Structure 1
């Protein structure tokens, strides 16, 4: 287990205005996460402790350039895991931390956390790729992990996170550490940016049958959210995401097969429920 005394010093220094100190702290964190014995033994509690520290490191970071660099660096930590269970735990801890802290982020700090979510989502989608032979290949097992993560967390339709453990195999005590719900505002942001980030990692590339299939599977998660959510703002935004003109099946204005205007009309007639679940 990661002790607070061991992890806090270098995490705390990530918010420093001294670039050299930040780089040294980041190197220490990367070394820790890259160690096989650490990554393979990473528990949900360990990862939650680390992400809470990283969250507040970004909270304390000042000025746009250091904030952007820190967001990029934190998202890049996913690259230091090469084992499925550790990846699932690391991503679950990130999304759980964001879900728990989201409604407490003030307006002056929200922009940098919006960027962090965007960068981590990009890293999560990029994790499915394995470059080789000059062409990107998509790993089916990794794709399954990412789809499960998206369905369990930022695009979840569950009423209560603790009803399931998102495939982590955690016990009741650890499950209680997870936030009960994912705030609507976090879901809305992911719905806003997921096609952007999918494009960045090559999922919208023409002629790539593997990428097209993964793209359809992600869109299917969004579709399930659209059908299953009881939050009007999420229902409207998920429909807008499915209608994004960059998605191959929407080219030419064809839209999503089987989706007419009925849901949209119903959403327009419903009362606006704000950004909180």
Structure 2
């Protein structure tokens, strides 16, 4: 693959602890991916090979700050891609994570957990319109791009929230070796742990945003469907736990309930012990 061969020198440099080398490599990667001619010609196999290179760039990246920076930079790559190339690119990410997840040792797992969190967050942010200045007649900004919302939710249902453990593999092609046969339980559990956090950060839990509430409900329905369909006890338990998050609609305590919990309920008086 010609495109991958051209990209590999700067992909390897992304793992450098030297900030100048890493910055230069990132700029080269941005230029490479932002070219409409190149991004339009990338096949599924090209994207999978590129993500394999990016995965091992993070694998080789040492020290906390460079690792955190690289995770953020890789997650933000969707912002330099043409719109039509974002979902194929993210699909390649999820396939790569699913393929490599069980090979990640305990010493490296933390940085890949962070990468997944950053990519989930970037996907949620990408659901917003690029021009948030347009307003409804009510005066509120219309910030959600529903086509992008559909794309991201469909992608989550295809990978971490998929109802079946089997991944979608095209048999008899070169891609087969780069697409996992199953979706690892650990990857599912991590996304179930973080999705409410990242939904809150992007504004999906805002009660006065009707569109956000509808999007949030679609995500809740996905997790609920996963809880009902999965045959994995750990996934079922973690799905239920995430649905019971007190920040989600229906789980939020009223002011009176919070006050009662704070004061301990009852008559609020001191306990003088048992009467004789």
How far apart in 2 are the matches of 1:136 and 1:118? 26
How far apart in 2 are the matches of 1:48 and 1:142? 22
Q: Is the counterpart of residue 234 in structure 1 residue 235 in structure 2? A: yes
Question: How far is 1:2 from its partner?
Answer: 4.5
Structure 2 residue aligned with 1:15: 15
Structure 1 residue aligned with 2:28: 28
Maintained 8 Å contact 2:11/2:25:
yes
Structure 2 residue aligned with 1:83: 83
Q: Is the counterpart of residue 222 in structure 1 residue 223 in structure 2? A: yes
Structure 2 residue aligned with 1:180: 181
Unaligned runs of 5+ in 1: 164-169, 254-277
Structure 1 residue aligned with 2:153: 147
Structure 1 residue aligned with 2:248: 247
Give secondary structure in 1 for the equivalent of 2:112.
Answer: helix
Q: Is the counterpart of residue 162 in structure 1 residue 171 in structure 2? A: no
Deviates more, 1:153-162 or 1:93-102: 153-162
Give secondary structure in 2 for the equivalent of 1:190.
Answer: helix
How far apart in 2 are the matches of 1:38 and 1:229? 39
Q: How high is the TM-score relative to the length of structure 2? A: 0.85
1:230-259 superposed Cα distances (whole Å, 9 cap, x missing partner): 000000000001111111221128xxxxxx
132 and 3 in structure 1: CA distance in 2 versus 1, 3 angstrom threshold: closer
63 and 70 in structure 1: CA distance in 2 versus 1, 3 angstrom threshold: same
Structure 1 residue aligned with 2:73: 73
Question: How far is 1:89 from its partner?
Answer: 1.0
How far apart in 1 are the matches of 2:125 and 2:82? 13
Aligned-residue CA RMSD (Å): 1.7
Maintained 8 Å contact 1:222/1:242:
yes
Give secondary structure in 1 for the equivalent of 2:143.
Answer: strand
Deviates more, 1:119-128 or 1:242-251: 242-251
Question: How far is 1:171 from its partner?
Answer: 7.7
How far apart in 2 are the matches of 1:132 and 1:70? 28
Maintained 8 Å contact 2:120/2:195:
yes
Indicate the structure (1 or 2) with the bigger Cα radius of gyration: 2
How far apart in 2 are the matches of 1:162 and 1:245? 34
Give secondary structure in 2 for the equivalent of 1:158.
Answer: coil
Residues 122-133 of structure 1 correspond to what in structure 2 (within 5 A)? 122-130=121-129, 131-133=131-133
